[in-house]
Structure 1
Amino acid sequence: MTAQAPTGPALSYGRLIPVTVHFDDLDALGLLHNARYPLMVERAWTELWNEYGVRFDGDWAAAGDACNAVKELRIGYETPVTRPGVYAVHLWLERLGNTGLTYGFRFCSADGTVTYAQGSRVLVRLDAATLRPAPWSEGFRAAGQGLLRPED
């Protein structure tokens, strides 16, 4: 008999990416440090975009869509994370514009049922030579379409 991972609620949009909280991610009170939440979200996005071939290896000229800057970050903390272990980040796109995007996220239990923190981040795609806004590539836009949250 093969062990199967427990199944959580079916996501109607976005992706659930596993992340690991380590002991040294906790603060002096034994809570996940507030600065670690955005870091975990960034790691989840990096893993997701790597699946689509979007990578950054330090060369801005070759970075393409990975050449971008954060314009805004908003995060609300719902319930404290009190122990190390496997969690998840639910990721989706709220808006995909010509040169910018807004993505949403939830830091949650591994099965997606408990939300510990949630928020959004606005990114602007940059031209590596001028650092001015530049359009997303067609490949990036195509990948992003599948991550868009349906309008209510």
Structure 2
Amino acid sequence: MHVSKKEIEVRYAETDQMGVVYHANYLIWMELGRTKLIQDLGFSYAGMEEQGIISPVIDLDISYKKPLRYGEIATVHTWIEAYNGLKSIYGYEIFNSKGDLAVTATSSHVCVQKDSFRPVKFKKLFPDWHEAYEKAKK
């Protein structure tokens, strides 16, 4: 199983009135983690979009364990939790500067045509990417 790691400096604008990272910002960090994972495997999400294919989130599960605060470094670990050639489920763990687990999450995605939102068979359309996912998944 391949695990990508992406460090993110927590910016003041990402915190809420309580001084902790606002919950929705973790979703952005998860996207950064997915992008890093895809790059680590030798591909580009932007390149896929240029071909008229997008990969919307169809399900999300997130659990907040510890707060992250301004000035800390968040480290996002991302991997392919499950993959079947049509749907990809990514796993995430986000750690604080001390290495404590702050967030666990999964997000599910399918690939669709950008103009119609009709599902496409990822393994048929992107066979090299499919093979890399098969090798990298949990």
State TM-score, norm by structure 1: 0.76
Report whether the alignment pairs 1:96 with 2:87: no
- Name the CA distance, whole Å, in 1 between partners of 2:36 and 2:2: 17
Change in CA separation of 1:110 and 1:134 when aligned onto 2, cut-off 3 Å: farther
For 1:2-151, list aligned pairs within 5 A. Answer: 13-51=2-40, 52-56=42-46, 60=49, 62-64=51-53, 67-109=54-96, 113-136=99-122, 137-149=126-138
Change in CA separation of 1:106 and 1:63 when aligned onto 2, cut-off 3 Å: farther
Q: How many positions carry a matched residue from both structures?
A: 134
CA contact (8 A) 1:101 1:124 kept: yes
- Name the CA distance, whole Å, in 2 between partners of 1:114 and 1:146: 29
CA contact (8 A) 1:102 1:122 kept: yes
Q: Which has the higher helix share?
A: 2
- Name the CA distance, whole Å, in 1 between partners of 2:4 and 2:97: 12
CA contact (8 A) 1:61 1:128 kept: no
The equivalent residue for 1:5 is: none
Larger radius of gyration: 1
Helix, strand or coil: the match of 2:69? coil
CA contact (8 A) 1:18 1:87 kept: yes
Offset at 1:99?
Answer: 1.3
CA contact (8 A) 2:55 2:111 kept: yes
Offset at 1:102?
Answer: 0.8
Consecutive unaligned residues of structure 1, counting only runs of 5 or more, are 1-11
- Name the CA distance, whole Å, in 1 between partners of 2:66 and 2:109: 26
Consecutive unaligned residues of structure 2, counting only runs of 5 or more, are none
State TM-score, norm by structure 2: 0.83
Offset at 1:129?
Answer: 4.5
- Name the CA distance, whole Å, in 2 between partners of 1:122 and 1:24: 28
Offset at 1:13?
Answer: 4.4
CA contact (8 A) 2:7 2:75 kept: yes
